Structure 1
Amino acid sequence: MMYIRTNQLLKAVILLLFAVFLFLLHETGEIARFINPQYVHLSQIASILFLFLFFIQVPRMFTNSEDDLCGCGLWGCSHGEEGRFAMKHVISYGLISLPLMIGFLFPFKDFGAAEALKRGVQYQVSQREARDEASLEKNVQELLEQSALVLHRDNFVSSLRALMAYPTRFVGKPILLEGFIIEDCQDEKVTVITRFLVTHCVADSHAAGFILEHEDSLGGREEQWLQVMGVLDVKQHGGVLLPVIRVIEWEEIEPPANPYVYP
């Protein structure tokens, strides 16, 4: 008579669910809301690996003798595991299954204003980025040759770094961009149009953006996505000269399906 090892069955189910979860993220395109697209192939490899481990685990689920429930299976031994479903098993399987339960049962929520304020907003280039002068200067020259700056997902990060590194060189330059609005009160209350930059995954993401100045306050629109057209200027903020956008026109827009930008 064929018997099933409970512990081995649970391990197989968990491996299969991880493989299915990653497959669904890729199939729906939702994976881009969690990791930088250049790392997508790594998560594809992970889903295949989980599926491979599932097939390795399947033979370990079965035994021909009730006495063998505490013995060795085809793929290794598991003495003392079966028949003693202790609290440590509940805790270990619960912790391993927690990401699956969250992923399958709860809707995904993109980072917004609250998370940006909690993590802090970047207004100037980091020291590491500033040291890459050759790359920055190349971006600056390309932007200066344009009659107007249009920031979109593909050029947002490179343009942002160039503008933050040399704000005075772009004074008077027309600019068009999209982002969500926050009210930052660290040094003085300012309205900022912001995007989240994802280097590797959303866990290491950070918010960056431009201070907005408008004759009519844009405050009270926190979390709202806007398309803003204006002219670049500079402003002393927190003891640092930063680029600001003097808004000419703006309109409310729907949030994009994927709100993140990638270096």
Structure 2
Amino acid sequence: MEQSDHLGFQKFIRGIILVGFTMLLFKLIISGDITNFIAPKMLPFIYFATGTFLILGTIQIFRSDSKKDIDLFCDCGLDHTAKSSPIKSLLIYSIFLFPILTGFMFPEVILDSSIVAKRGINLGTSSVAAEENQNTSTQEKSTDESTATDDTQPKSVDDLYIEGLLNSEKIVVTDVEYQKISGYLETNLDEFVGKEIELTGFVYREPDFTQDQMAVSRFTVSCCVADLQVMGTLATGDEVKNLKNDEWVKVTGVIEKTDRNGVTIPSIGISSLEKVEAPSDPYIYIY
């Protein structure tokens, strides 16, 4: 009887843990805070996990009151009557209960410049985007050279996109196009020098920045915050001297190029700067 009660209690606790995770995920989904941890493209997996946890947790709770021998013993010929230490069981279950309790007790925190100081910042664009755009440009140049005698050869989608940016009165970098435009700026910098651009992000300064320098920065997320990167565009102007890290600004200026640690990167000569409120969803999601 004692063994039966012990196994039933174990099942009940496991069911409560699964239902607890269900409630935590449900709370994050309803509040919209789930995107502080994962990219929107991962939401279908979260919906599936939430439903699965609920079903399994409910089954475990109902089974905890079962008195059937088949549910209590495996009939393998071995003695399973010895119980584990209560302290050991408490420690094991605490590992699963801790994230549930902290998830409900503490508010979700948006990442800030303290993360940048630890992870570093990619000035210009991420290495992945730069490599992809460089490979695309190399392939297109090879194609153009092989068809140079054909004046009717249609332009590629990338060429048309760059041409559209160059012909626009001002390049306005939106969240949706942030990664794409940043990549094109870096791989085709000479073509964009002198073009006006508008960019929004939070202020971050590296220790070696001068007083009139800052990085207009954004966090980029592919799947979840574990693969988070920090992208930034160097901006220069007297207007930045009194700004503090993590303040959100909208910067308008002219695209320039500068050298940093032996690498040529885009920069912005600021013509106007405006403090703005942080967006409700401050991350850039890479698809």
Tell whether the structures are fold-level matches, with TM greater than 0.5.
yes
Is 1:206 the counterpart of 2:204? The answer is: no
Residue 12 to residue 171, structure 1, CA distance change in 2 (3 Å): same
Aligned residues: 256
Larger fraction in strand: 1
Equivalent residue in structure 1 for 2:135, among 123, 131, 135: 131
The TM-score, its normalising length taken from structure 1, stands at: 0.87
Equivalent residue in structure 1 for 2:186, among 145, 164, 170: 164
What is the alpha-carbon distance in structure 2 between the residues aligned to residue 210 and residue 60 of structure 1? Answer: 57
Amino acid at match of 1:36: A
Query: How large is the Cα RMSD of the aligned pairs?
Result: 2.7
Residue 219 to residue 200, structure 1, CA distance change in 2 (3 Å): farther
Residue 11 to residue 85, structure 1, CA distance change in 2 (3 Å): farther
User: In terms of mean alpha carbon deviation, does 130-139 or 109-118 score higher?
Assistant: 130-139
What does 1:58-207 correspond to in 2, within 5 Å?
58-64=61-67, 72-73=70-71, 80=80, 84-125=84-125, 126=127, 128-129=131-132, 130-133=134-137, 137=159, 139-185=161-207, 188-189=209-210, 190-207=213-230
Amino acid at match of 2:233: F
Equivalent residue in structure 2 for 1:247, among 270, 276, 279: 270
User: In terms of mean alpha carbon deviation, does 35-44 or 217-226 score higher?
Assistant: 217-226
What is the alpha-carbon distance in structure 2 between the residues aligned to residue 222 and residue 83 of structure 1? Answer: 55
What is the alpha-carbon distance in structure 2 between the residues aligned to residue 74 and residue 58 of structure 1? Answer: 14
Residue 178 to residue 124, structure 1, CA distance change in 2 (3 Å): closer
What is the alpha-carbon distance in structure 2 between the residues aligned to residue 238 and residue 217 of structure 1? Answer: 22
Structure 1, unmatched stretches of 5+, are none
Is 1:39 the counterpart of 2:71? The answer is: no
What is the alpha-carbon distance in structure 2 between the residues aligned to residue 204 and residue 102 of structure 1? Answer: 23
8 Å Cα contact 2:249/2:276 also seen in 1: yes
Q: Secondary structure at the match of 2:45?
A: helix
Identity, in percent, stands at: 26
Shift of 1:142: 3.6
What is the alpha-carbon distance in structure 1 between the residues aligned to residue 107 and residue 226 of structure 2? Answer: 17
8 Å Cα contact 2:113/2:246 also seen in 1: yes
What is the alpha-carbon distance in structure 2 between the residues aligned to residue 204 and residue 239 of structure 1? Answer: 27
Amino acid at match of 1:121: I
Q: Secondary structure at the match of 1:184?
A: coil
8 Å Cα contact 2:198/2:253 also seen in 1: yes
The TM-score, its normalising length taken from structure 2, stands at: 0.80
2:145 corresponds to = none
Structure 2, unmatched stretches of 5+, are 141-156
Shift of 1:131: 2.1
User: In terms of mean alpha carbon deviation, does 236-245 or 89-98 score higher?
Assistant: 89-98
Larger fraction in helix: 2
